[in-house]
Amino acid sequence: MIRVLLSQEIHPEGRKILEGRFEILTAPDTSQETLLSMAKNIDAIILRTTSKVTREVIENAPKLKIISRTGAGVDNVAVDAATERGILVCNLPAVNNLSVCEHAIAMIMHLAKQLSFMDRAVRDGNWKARNSNLSVELEGKVLGVVGMGNIGALVAKKCHDGFGMKILAYDPYVKEKFRDYDYEFTDTLERLFKESDFITLHCPDTPQTKGMITRDLIYSMKTTAYLINASRGGVIDEQALIDALKEKRIAGAGLDVYQQEPPALDNELLTLDNVILSPHSAALTKEATIRMSAEAAQAVVDYFEGRQPKYIYNITELKNRGLI
């Protein structure tokens, strides 16, 4: 019987699609050692964000035919190694766009209205906090969007159309796509960081983006500006951000992702009152969790029942090699 490994449990709706068709195994933990051991006799892997299918895993999984991600990102898959073996790498490029978009906007609004401070003030009996004038309006503020892919573009649209924010975008790959929009594009991150009131990051974790948000960029921000990251932790120089927050060089930050996940308990981010944090949960709404599990499972079903899965990340390379 075809064996499908879940790197971590998925939603019951996704499991239902697999049951009766395959033998389902669930990894007891997310360690690399466990995945390496369990993948040896596996035909398919449904992969969540918490585990990595490395080249070593692929080389030790001779029966593996398909890796199906429960999200858009494939930075936790050795795609080149999979392609060399003719293994399909499937992802879901649009499945959690709305969830992540809304999470980023929620962070923008939370920071703009200083909700953490106001909540603590009421609980502490500090009613005078209402006169602190810390909160700001979003109307007319400049939103810097780094990465205008599906999620970044959706954040820009909702903030522009819904809140009347001005959009200053950086994305050299899709600039022409938005030429008829009331957005301004910049060719430099330096300008975006200097001029924006809120900056939201929506870029993948690649060698090109790793550490892209440097100390110099962070320290060039307005002292009244906020930085939001619901993409990947590796794109930011995290220590530089911590230093800027501690020194009040920027007004604050909202983070859903970190260089190390989960962050160590002694990470200084956890002690700062001008940053709001969430546990890489932007994509994990009830609705998106069901969609991710069901669609990742369906890709596996489609493959083994002779249909082409809807999204194959490495389809071009596989075709070029005559492997599909």
* 76 and 169 belong to one structural domain: no
Domain holding 20: CATH number? 3.40.50.720
Q: Are residues 81 and 149 in the same domain?
A: no
User: Which residues 6+ apart lie within 8 Å of 240 measured at CB?
Assistant: 214, 215, 218, 219
Burial track 250-268 (b if 16+ CB lie within 10 A, e otherwise): bbbbbbbbbbeeebeeebb
Indicate whether 49 and 132 sit together in one domain. Answer: no
Tell me what pLDDT residue 94 has.
86
Q: Within this chain, do residues 35 and 86 fall inside the same structural domain, yes or no?
A: yes
Q: Answer yes or no: do 75 and 112 share one domain.
A: no
Mark whether 280 is an active-site residue: yes
Residues 90 and 105 in one domain: no
pTM for this one?
A: 0.86
Same-domain status, 15 and 57: yes
pLDDT over 70, % of the chain: 100
Domain hosting 103: range is: 97-277
Are 118 and 150 within one domain?
Answer: yes
| Residue of 232, 238, 291, 295 with catalytic role | 232
Is 101 in the same domain as 250?
Answer: yes
Query: Is the domain of 246 the same as that of 117?
Result: yes
Number of separate domains in the chain: 2
Task: Kindly report, residue by residue over 27-62, the tens digit of the pLDDT.
Answer: 999 999 999 999 999 999 999 988 999 999 999 999
DSSP string, 39-82: GGG-SEEEE-TT--B-HHHHHT-TT--EEEESSS--TTB-HHHH
Catalytic residue among 23, 137, 247, 261: 261
- pLDDT tens digit string along 144-160? 999 999 999 999 999 99
Q: Are residues 122 and 263 in the same domain?
A: yes
Known catalytic residue at 261:
yes
- For residue 288, pLDDT over 90 is answered with yes
Predicted pLDDT at 116 = 96
Q: Say yes or no: 117 and 257 in one domain.
A: yes
- pLDDT > 90: percent of the chain: 93
Residue 179 is among the residues annotated as catalytic for this protein = no
| Mean pLDDT score of the chain | 96
